[in-house]
Amino acid sequence: MSTKSTGFVERFRQPEYTGENRCTPCTIVNIVIAAVGSAALSLVLTPAGGAVVFALSLVTIYLRGYLVPGTPTLTKRYFPDWLLAKFDKLEAEPVEVADDERDPEEVLAEAGAVRPCDDVDDLCLADSFRETWDANMESIKAEETEKSDLSRVLDVEEEQLSFEEHDEALVAEYDGGRLGQWESRAALIADLAAAKVLEDSYDDWDDLTVTNQSRVLSGLRVFLEACPDCGGEIAMEQETVESCCRTLDVVAVSCTECDSRLLEVEHDQ
């Protein structure tokens, strides 16, 4: 395709609704509308005319993301939330919690990582655990050992492990497939550093499933006092996050200095 043709096409493309931002439910709905409309026109005009209209409709959906104006808004408003969640790119794959998996708080308590707070009815991080955790985070950040540490934790070959950034998220890929995802490099550093401590302080750590370990590690991030990546302060706040399909209320833990997201969970009204 020539540069002139490419420029003409790009003039009509809406990147906010196409590519990685494409809303799958919107696309499906609009293709169905295009098919029904083209079939009706085939009866009124000719089959060839209906086919031309359908082809033009598909091009419009490809370039614009939808055929009927206002489709993204209408989809969010009228489609059931359970259906939109299946297509939501902001939401990670649902985590299956096995019956034999340990409760994260129980694991952390038995490992000596948390204890009852002195002045409030809550759990606080043990000083000894925090000191070792902080030292591990500083070491990983300074020596940039994320890849080697992750390969050791997951028992995979480091040479086939790579990291890709998608927006703010950090995705670990192994042998062409997705191995795991973290909200940011800071979240990965925190998890790897905590895993090192738990390997020594919790005898059954290696017996836990990877999913169970992940739940324990992500739960620990709420105890961070400074960003593992930039050293900035930590803030927790409620935000409204827009995805292609839904508007989500989330509780977010982030670094105030570098905006690294450490934890994001959907707020339960």
pLDDT digits (tens, 9 = 90+) for 209-249: 988 999 999 999 999 999 999 999 998 876 655 555 555 56
Q: Does residue 263 fall inside a structural domain?
A: no
User: Does residue 188 lie within any of the structural domains?
Assistant: yes
Question: Quick one: average pLDDT of 193-199?
Answer: 96
Residue 137 in domain = yes
The DSSP-derived string for the chain is: --HHHHHHHHHH--GGGSGGG--HHHHHHHHHHHHHHHHHHHHHS-HHHHHHHHHHHHHHHHHHS-SSTTHHHHHHHHS-HHHHHHH-SSSPPPPP--TTPPPHHHHHHHTTSEEE-SSSSSEEE-HHHHHHHHHHHHHHHHHT-HHHHHHHHHT--GGGEEEEEETTEEEEEETTEEEEEESSHHHHHHHHHHHHHHHHH-TTGGGS-HHHHHHHHHHHGGG-SB-TTT--BEEEEEEEEE-SS-EEEEEEEEETTT--EEEEEE---
Mean pLDDT, residues 170-181 taken together? 87
The predicted pLDDT at position 91 comes to 44
Query: What residue numbers bound the domain in which 13 lies?
Result: 3-79
pLDDT at 107 > cutoff 60: yes
Is residue 253 a part of any domain in this protein?
A: no
Share of the chain above pLDDT 70, in %: 72
Q: Give the pLDDT band (50/70/90) at residue 129.
A: very high
User: Which of 63, 79, 95 represents a domain boundary (last residue)?
Assistant: 79
Residue 246 lies in a domain: no
User: Bigger pLDDT: 96 or 68?
Assistant: 68
Same-domain pairing of 120 and 68 = no
In this predicted structure, the answer to whether residue 265 has a pLDDT above a threshold of 50 is yes
Q: Are residues 115 and 181 part of one domain? A: yes
Structure-model confidence comparison of residues 88 and 155, the more confident one: 155
Q: Is residue 223 in a domain?
A: yes
Same domain, 121 and 225: yes
- Region 183-201 average pLDDT: 95
Residues 141, 49 within the same domain = no
| Greater model confidence, 248 or 103 | 103
Domain-ending residue, one of 195, 213, 229: 229
Query: Are residue 72 and residue 108 in the same domain, yes or no?
Result: no
Does 210 reside within a domain?
yes
Confidence label for 94 from pLDDT (cuts 50, 70 and 90): very low
Res 117: pLDDT = 92
Q: What is the mean pLDDT of residues 130-148?
A: 95
Q: Are residues 52 and 130 in the same domain?
A: no
* Residue 269 within a domain: no
Q: Indicate the number of domains in the chain.
A: 2
Q: What's the confidence (pLDDT) of residue 90?
A: 43
- Of 214, 229, 244, the residue that ends a domain is 229
